[in-house]
Structure 1
Amino acid sequence: MYKLLALDMDGTLLDNNKTITGPVLEAIRQLVFNDVHVTIATGRFPASVWLHAKYLGLNFPLVALNGAVILDPITGSELHGTPIEAQIARKIAEYIETTDSYVHFYGYNILFVKELNDMNKRWPYANVVIDPNKELTEDNYRGQVHHIQVNPVGQLSSFLAGTDNRVYKSTVINENPEVVDALYAEFSTWKELEITRTGKRRFDINASGVNKKTALQKVCADAGIAVQDVVTMGDYDNDLEMLKWAGLGIAMGNGNERAKAAARAVTASNNEHGVAEAIRKYFFS
């Protein structure tokens, strides 16, 4: 039997309502009960990964911010981190400030933004463990949303030039896909960076060499798990490296064509309990 299952979150572990379906929850808990390691590897905040891991009952190191952070599943504290070099983060902000695009930067559970807007002030709510029976309000999720802060700092380049806060990831967003394409092409030439598509209107920036695969390589080396004993599951471009690397990479039925091409197998979609289907087929068949 495989020894480790590593799951992307959005579009994989979570359905389109951002919830963990009953069959997926049951299948994962059965794996853990049978002493198979399960981890999460995502672009989300450490706190979001930790909250979902607690809900699932996971006890293996977790991967956040596209591999920039490895965290303890029990305490949520950082075990290993690879931030973007401070002067490079400042240069990213300076370049974006010459365009008409939006950018923000991720600290450890802090989102640094120029100013609050309708999108970023709701960011903590996009990271909680959602109960489909509860409206997404502060009163209903007070015990979770406080784990993530949104910090308006004014001009980001000036803030990044003077702060001691480490930043692990940046996200660039523009409603015009052509502008996103041009910015993606520009930052792809910066050797200090790792650039990953996360949608037609957005992409993520990490330090060079940071991705989910490299983080999983580290946690597997620490745990003595060979690559052939690892199963990874994902649906989008920030999953490609780990899908190609693992002993068995599985793409979601809702995944894009690049994810499916990188994987050795394809399961059902996230809305059809694809994670549970894969667990039944590859772990308990």
Structure 2
Amino acid sequence: MIKALVFDVDDTLIKYGKQYVEESAIEAINLAKEKRITIIVATGRGYKFLHQDVKDRVKADYYITVNGTCINASDGTTIECYPLSKETTDKLLEICYERDYSFGFKFDDSLQVYVDYPYFISYYCRGAIKKETIDDNSKTRDYHLTHMLPLGCFIYSPEKEAMKLEEQFNDLQFFQGYLHGCECIRNDVNKGKTLKKLVDFLGLSLKDCIAFGDADNDKELLKMCGIGICMGNGSESLKQVSDYVTTDIEDDGIYNALKHYDVI
């Protein structure tokens, strides 16, 4: 019996570049809620950067954010985080300063840009993210000292050369980002592992969960759940590890999949 539904956001609930969840997905989620099924959102975004429509209409019971490095309650309150170590943070700072990379640290409550704020937002905000939501910490560069250690780092470098930094860190994993950006988090963290911790806390089982995703950073999430569903617009490699490939996001993908499995 399905007891929880887990949804990625970009290109799963919301078409990239848009602001609103697909209407058929909202209908399906509301039908699932009537059956007392727990709704979980699992995204690479921090809670602050989630589309307002996700918060207002999906109204998930829990949010797994920043690619699994943070768990948030329904109101955004931080429940648990998995930050970088001080040693790794200091090493990233040293390398990025030395090479003059434009970069920002992701925290549970914000994205703090440490080098070249105008350049960073000129690329990072080309999608649906507003520049007003990103903080300029380039003068003091101290948020990792006054708030908490960062959950991850987003770096802009020529020809994505920062991707090669993975060779210098045995505790980080790097992902290619939009345009020439890349992102890193702890290599012992992903959406799937964090979901396991959350469902254990809730007294549920992963086999009673259905997960939806579209990108390669959803692989562990889909593989660990009882049913892993790839959107029709998803990557070919994700389709290969999923249990079911539904229709595209704009062709009622979520609704059709939940109908297929008799969840709604």
Calculate the TM-score normalised by the size of structure 1.
Answer: 0.80
- On the 8 A contact 2:20/2:51 being kept in 1, the answer is no
Say whether residues 1:69 and 2:70 are aligned partners.
yes
Q: Is the 8 A contact 1:169 1:206 kept in 2?
A: yes
What displacement does 1:199 show?
A: 4.6
Please name the residue that 2:135 is paired with: 150
Please point out which of 227, 232, 236 is paired with 1:253.
232
Report if the CA contact (8 A) 1:40-1:49 is conserved.
no
Once residues 206 and 90 of structure 1 are traced to their aligned partners in structure 2, the CA distance between those partners, rounded to angstroms, is 14
Q: Which moved more, 1:195-204 or 1:228-237?
A: 195-204
Structure 2 residue identity aligned to 1:233: F
Give the CA deviation at 1:222.
Answer: 0.7
Q: Which runs of 5+ in 2 are unaligned?
A: none
Distance 1:188 1:230, change over 3 A: farther
1:77 Cα deviation after fit? 0.8
Q: What letter matches 2:2 in structure 1?
A: Y
* 1:56-95 equivalences in 2 (<5 Å): 56-73=57-74, 75-95=75-95
Q: Distance in 1 between matches of 2:237 and 2:251?
A: 21
Query: Does residue 99 of structure 2 align to residue 102 of structure 1?
Result: no
Using the aligned pairs only, state the percent identity: 22
Cα deviation for residue 43 of structure 1 reads 0.8
Partner Cα distance (1:195, 1:116) in 2: 22
The alignment's TM-score, normalised by the length of structure 2, stands at: 0.86
Query: Which position in structure 1 is the counterpart of 2:128?
Result: 126
Equivalence for 1:141? none
Whether the aligned pair in 1 keeps the contact of 2:21 and 2:54 (CA below 8 Å) is: no
Q: In 1, distance between residues paired with 2:202 and 2:26?
A: 24
**Structure 1 CA distance, aligned partners of 2:237 and 2:179?**
14
Aligned length: 261
Deviation at 1:152, TM superposition (A): 2.8
Kindly state the Cα deviation for residue 119 of structure 1 after the two structures are TM-superposed: 5.2
2: CA distance between counterparts of 1:106 and 1:161? 10
Shift of 1:83: 0.9
Deviation at 1:48, TM superposition (A): 3.5
Counterpart residue number, 1:206: 185
Q: CA deviation at 1:212?
A: 0.3
| 2:153 counterpart residue number | 170
Q: Please, what is the CA RMSD of the aligned residues?
A: 2.8
Measure, in 2, the Cα distance between the counterparts of 1:160 and 1:48.
18
- For residues 7-60 of structure 1, the C-alpha deviation after alignment (integer angstroms, 9 at most, x for no partner) is 111111112324212111111111112111111000111224494553235352
Structure 1 Cα separation of the partners of residues 178 and 120 of structure 2: 16
Match in the other structure for 2:36 = 35
Against the structure 1 CA distance between its residues 103 and 2, is the aligned structure 2 distance closer, same or farther, given a 3 Å change threshold?
Answer: same
Deviation at 1:109, TM superposition (A): 2.3
Partner of 2:5: 5
Distance between the aligned counterparts of 2:256 and 2:31, measured in 1?
Answer: 13
Aligned partner of residue 276 in structure 1, secondary structure: helix
Kept after mapping to 1: 8 A contact 2:199/2:205: yes
Amino acid at match of 1:96: C
Q: Structure 1 residues 149 and 102 mapped into 2: Cα distance closer, same or farther (>3 Å)?
A: closer
Q: Distance in 1 between matches of 2:79 and 2:179?
A: 32
> How far apart are 1:257 and its partner, in Å?
1.6
